[in-house]
Amino acid sequence: MEFRVLAETFDRLERTSARLELMDILASLLARADASNVDKIIYLLQGRVAAPYTGIELGIGEKLAIQAIARAFGVNADEVERLYKELGDLGSVAERLAGNKKQMTLFSQPLTVERVYDNFYRIATASGSGSQELKLRLLIDLLNDAEPLEARYIVRIPLGKLRLGVGDATILEALAIARTGSREFKERLERAYNLCSDLGYVAKVLYEKGPEAIQNFKIVVGIPIRPALAQRAQSAEEIVSRLGTCAAEAKYDGFRCQIHKKGDKVWIFSRRLENMTNMFPEIIEGTLKQFDAEEAIFEGEAIAYNEETGEFYPFQMTIQRKRKYGIKEAAEEYPLKLFAFDLIYADGVDYTPKPYKERRAELEKRIKKGDVLDLSEKVIVSTAEDLEKFFESCVERGLEGIVAKDLNAPYIAGARKWAWIKLKRSYRGELSDTLDVVIVGYYKGRGKRSQFGLGGILVAVYDKDEDTFRTIAKVGSGFTEEQLVEMKKILDEIAVPHRPARVVSFLEPDVWVEPKYVITVTADEITRSPNHTAGWDGKRGYALRFPRIVGWIRSDKAPEDATTVQEVVEMYKQQRTVITGDENA
């Protein structure tokens, strides 16, 4: 496929503010793709060259891009910088300069998707001495043959500035439409995606081998599966009335780890399925020593603890371990323990369809005593009183709460279902749980705040059914002055000129941003309001009363991992029951 087709599609996607149109544009692009290029097209749409779990990240610095543009178009770097100041984006600079170039079509070869992808892949994987020069040459090679619109994206993609706002669910739906003519097939594709976390690969299998191959998709050790997620409850009574006799496990507040083992090789994937293997050497060693299987996939929560006292550290300490450098020192200062809580695969057996009690029994058999791996604490309860007691004992010990598990439920990859229900400690006057919301815009701030350039943010929750982000609050509290400044800087990097197509909002912030960052907020209450679109029923949506941020941007969550509209409705109802309960008392 000619790269021009992709560049034109990017341009159209960038311009639209309507989700349906976004879907049409994508589906017609994918209808033109074939088995040889569909994976590449999908990666490029997401500004990538491979699935996130591979750790292959495409990225170049602005300096390199400026040099490449200067050399490709025969101008000096100062001129590129000047244009950058004027236009505000290096992609537009390249587009302008490519437009000025004369006789460019005389010897140039039209760019294909394959060639652009190959060069980007080589840029992403170049390392060692001479890699900067190689990246520069690969970029210049593309720019030499680029038409103006193509040049815009050839620069934006590796800079990470492609702001198309297409998420995984949108792509899955577009693939279903493009290949089968209806949305129905999306569910099957989603299942395959949940088992391999690689959209490009799922698309390739669909195009190459057809729909049956998607039905028969299998788990592979070394390729992460998308994690099962928990619903939330307001009380022990609610959990027991839903599940009856169930398991209750301590809820540790650390990193979720999905660990894969094959012989003496170990992989560790985060909740977002990034490859974190190198960050946690003690977990690799612990797995090799303590996990009894030739091949396995299991899950647990890693948490830093004080070796002297055996106490768990709060999340802020554990997060210190998420780093690329100084790993050895950090591992000595904040050693991790891993509390295993589920088994996905072991020695040829896919455990995901088996009930929790069987998975857990097998997990218990396979973990040997040792320093790093342990089983999550678990009790079986039949009454709300017993569950409450266990919950209280967890909270007293500084844990976050509990996760109750349906004894008979399978492992449901990539979905938030009632098979797991969390109950977290709550604070007086606050909601029983925080919300993870997506930042979709910001306000410049008046009065005292105008000096920071940011007075508050507009935030949204995720509507899973329609794959959109619907606003729920304007948040201005909870920020320190430094955070206001930092937040503005971060958001300016992802600013977009109009409301992104997947954002549904009545409010118009001063600056719109690509829905990218998730931040945790709390509030006094969830209320109904005509100003926000979350859960809109034609008259009112849901809103947060006195929202404030707690913590900072959650790098472990993608926008689609944010709290959903459906959960907000559930939280609102639970809050009502609690209030009504009080009134009756």
The reply on whether position 272 binds ligand AMP by CB under 6 A is no
Q: How far is the CB of 340 from ligand AMP (least distance, A)?
A: 9
Q: How many helices (H) and strands (E) does the chain have?
A: 21, 21
Binding string to ligand AMP for residues 112 to 131, with x set by CB under 6 A, is what? --------------------
Torsion of CA 489, 320, 424, 459, to 10 degrees: 10
> Which CB sits closer to ligand AMP, 352 or 376?
376
* Sign for the pseudo-dihedral over CA of 530, 533, 537, 541: negative
Of 150, 249, 463, 514, the one binding ligand AMP by CB under 6 A: 249
271 binds ligand AMP (CB under 6 A): yes
Q: In whole angstroms, how close is the CB of 575 to ligand AMP at the nearest point?
A: 18
For ligand AMP, the closer CB: 25 or 247: 247
Q: From 127-135, 204-212, 250-258, 314-322, give the range in contact with ligand AMP by CB under 6 A.
A: 250-258
State in angstroms the smallest separation of the CB of 416 from ligand AMP. 8
**Quick one: which segment of 7-15, 106-114, 134-142, 251-259 binds ligand AMP (CB under 6 A)?**
251-259
> Which residue in the list 40, 251, 261, 422 is annotated as catalytic?
251
Give the burial class of 362: count Cβ atoms within 10 A of its Cβ; 0-12 exposed, 13-18 middle, 19 or more buried.
middle
The verdict on 301 binding ligand AMP (CB under 6 A) reads yes
Q: How far is the CB of 195 from ligand AMP (least distance, A)?
A: 18
The number of beta carbons lying within 10 Å of the beta carbon of residue 106 is 6
Q: Could you say which residues in the range 401-430 bind ligand AMP, by CB under 6 A?
A: 403, 422
- Rounded least distance, CB 424 to ligand AMP, Å: 7
305: contact with ligand AMP by CB under 6 A: no
Long-range interactions of 212-216: CB distance < 8 A, separation 24+: 214/185, 214/188, 214/189, 215/188
Q: Which residue has the tokens 């170990």?
A: 266
Q: Contact 45/164 with Cβ under 8 angstroms?
A: yes
Q: Could you give the dihedral angle defined by the CA atoms of residues 435, 438, 442 and 445, in that order, rounded to the nearest 10 degrees?
A: 20
Rule CB under 6 A: say whether 376 interacts with ligand AMP: yes
Query: Residue 251 interacts with ligand AMP (CB under 6 A)?
Result: yes
Between 336 and 375, how does the x/- string for binding to ligand AMP read (CB under 6 A)? Answer: -----x----------------------------------
Cβ nearer to ligand AMP, comparing 252 with 462: 252
Residue with Cβ nearer ligand AMP (166 or 367): 367
Mapping DSSP onto H, E and C, the string for 6-68 reads: HHHHHHHHHHCCCHHHHHHHHHHHHHCCCCCCHHHHHHHHCCCCCCHHHCCCCCCCHHHHHHH
- Give the shortest CB-271-to-ligand AMP separation in angstroms: 6
Distance (Å, rounded) from C-alpha 172 to C-alpha 15?
21
**256 interacts with ligand AMP by CB under 6 A:** yes
* Residue 226 is a binding residue for ligand AMP (CB under 6 A): no
Nearest approach in angstroms of CB 380 to ligand AMP is: 14
- Nearest CB to ligand AMP, comparing residues 137 and 256: 256
DSSP 533: -
Q: Are 475 and 483 in contact (CB under 8 A)?
A: no
Residue 520 makes contact with ligand AMP by CB under 6 A:
no
Q: Would you report the helix, strand and coil content of the chain in percent, each value rounded to 5?
A: 45, 20, 35
Selected range binding ligand AMP among 23-31, 244-252, 468-476, 575-583, rule: CB under 6 A: 244-252
| 157: its two tokens | 């993609």
Q: Which residues pair with 261 in a beta bridge?
A: 266, 296
How far is residue 172's CA from residue 190's CA, in Å, rounded to a whole number? 7
Angle at Cα 186 formed by Cα 461 and Cα 260, nearest 5°? 80
Which residues have C-beta within 8 Å of that of residue 186, sequence separation ≥ 6? 172, 173, 175, 176
Residue in the shown chain whose Cβ atom is closest to ligand AMP: 256
Residues that contact ligand AMP, how many (by CB under 6 A): 12
Interface stretch with ligand AMP, choices 127-135, 248-256, 288-296, 363-371 (CB under 6 A): 248-256
Confirm whether 251 is a catalytic residue: yes
User: Residue holding tokens 């950058």?
Assistant: 84
The single-letter DSSP state of residue 224 is P
CB nearer to ligand AMP: pick between 250 and 268: 250
Comparing CB distances to ligand AMP, the nearer of 19 and 251 is: 251
Say how far apart CA 226 and CA 193 lie, in whole Å.
8
Closest distance to ligand AMP from the beta carbon of 116 (Å): 37
Told to check if 230 binds ligand AMP by CB under 6 A, we report: yes
* Binding of ligand AMP by 567 (CB under 6 A): no
Binding region for ligand AMP (CB under 6 A) out of 49-57, 249-257, 461-469, 546-554: 249-257
Task: Estimate the crossing angle of helix 90-100 against helix 77-87, to 10 degrees.
Answer: 120
Which contiguous run of DSSP H or E holds residue 419?
A: strand 416-424
User: Which of 463, 456, 521 lies closest to 491, judged by CA?
Assistant: 456
**Residue nearer to ligand AMP on the CB measure, 155 or 319:** 319
Active site residues: 251
The binding site for ligand AMP (CB under 6 A) comprises: 230, 249-252, 256, 271, 301, 341, 376, 403, 422
